[in-house]
Amino acid sequence: MPAREAGIVVVPGMGFYGGFADLLVTAARGDWDRADAIEIMVGLDSWHPTRGTRITGEKNTARRMVIANGQLAPVPLPSAEKDWDFGDPLGRQAMVEVPLSEIILIARHLKTDELHTYISSNALSDIDDPATPAPKADATGRSPQRFVVDAVVSRDGKSRRITARGRDIYALTAPLVCEATARLLEGKFTSAGAQPPAAIFDAQEFLSALTPDSLIFEITAAAGPDF
């Protein structure tokens, strides 16, 4: 492709939705070369969308995709629902399947039979309400919104789980983008072309670089990685 031939790196989806989950899943996977199933749980205590989020939602009308039976497929309708316990500070939440760009990113470089993303229903209710205001930042530049993201990778009856806890999904996008840019400028990537972030960056090193200011990580894994 032109980017690869020119030695240019194109990293799509390098934000909270998309690249972040790709990095989490890859870090949790560790040395496994495949997975039976991957589930990503995104819990938010609220979601006050920016105008950009509103506009993106209006434009994104295509059917969302998942990996089912090893193949890229449209998300089943009605969307699947389940409960998930995030622990502090969100506790148990009702979840709705809403796959975003992380599905395509992860599927490009990780083999799995199933790949599904869920978002807490309270956050979806916020964003579906046109009266929900835009986020307001405090003196630190962040809104009070809290989030927890769980990524669970399963294979042969075993599972590896990584949990990221933080504040303000929009404020996290900046360090994600900046860390990716710094690594590209320093040559800390493996190949050129259009690539998912975790395919060319060391996922564990990348995520570790975001702590402790932006994130707190917890890993529960059978012989899995450690931060």
Mean pLDDT of 125-138: 95
Instruction: List the single range of 112-116, 124-128, 143-147, 221-225 with lowest mean pLDDT.
Output: 221-225
Q: Which residues contact 21 (CB under 8 A, 6 or more apart)?
A: 40, 42, 102, 105, 106, 117, 149, 151
Ordered alpha helix ranges (H), the chain: 2-5, 19-29, 51-59, 102-109, 121-128, 169-185, 197-200, 203-208
Mean pLDDT of 132-139: 94
CB 196 within 8 A of CB 106: yes
For residue 208, tell me if it sits in a domain.
Answer: yes
Domain-located, residue 184: yes
Q: Are 110 and 26 in contact (CB under 8 A)?
A: yes
Please tell me the distance from the alpha carbon of residue 186 to that of residue 205, in angstroms, as a whole number.
14
| Residue 45, domain member (yes or no) | yes
Count Cβ atoms below 10 Å from residue 189 Cβ, excluding itself.
17
Residue 226 placed within a domain: no
Q: Within a domain: residue 227?
A: no
How sure is the predictor about 141, in pLDDT bands with cuts at 50, 70 and 90? confident
Q: Does residue 34 have a pLDDT over 80? A: yes
> Is pLDDT above 80 for 223?
no
Q: Residue 188 falls within a domain, yes or no?
A: yes
Asked if 189 contacts 206 with a C-beta cutoff of 8 angstroms, the reply is no
User: What spatial distance separates the first Cα and last Cα of the chain, rounded to whole Å?
Assistant: 35
pLDDT of residue 203: 95
d(CA 150, CA 82): 14
Tell me what pLDDT residue 1 has: 67
pLDDT at 226: 42
Quick check: is 99 in a domain?
A: yes
- pLDDT tens digits, one per residue of 210-220: 877 767 877 66
- Write the CATH number for 103: 3.30.360.10
Q: How far is residue 196's CA from residue 19's CA, in Å, rounded to a whole number?
A: 7
Mean per-residue pLDDT over the chain, rounded: 92
pLDDT at 32: 95
Give the 3-state secondary structure of residue 95. strand
- 107 forms beta bridges with none
70-122 confidence digits (pLDDT tens):
999 999 999 999 999 999 899 999 999 999 999 999 999 999 999 999 999 99
Residue 123 belongs to some domain of the structure: yes
The DSSP element (H or E) to which 66 belongs, if any, is strand 65-68
Structural domain count of the chain: 1
Phi and psi angles of residue 119, each rounded to the nearest 5 degrees, phi first? -125, 145
Q: Which domain holds residue 45?
A: 2-221
Condensed to tens digits (0 to 9), the pLDDT of residues 173-199 reads 999 999 999 999 999 999 989 999 999
Read off the pTM. 0.92
Length of the chain in residues, anyone?
Answer: 227
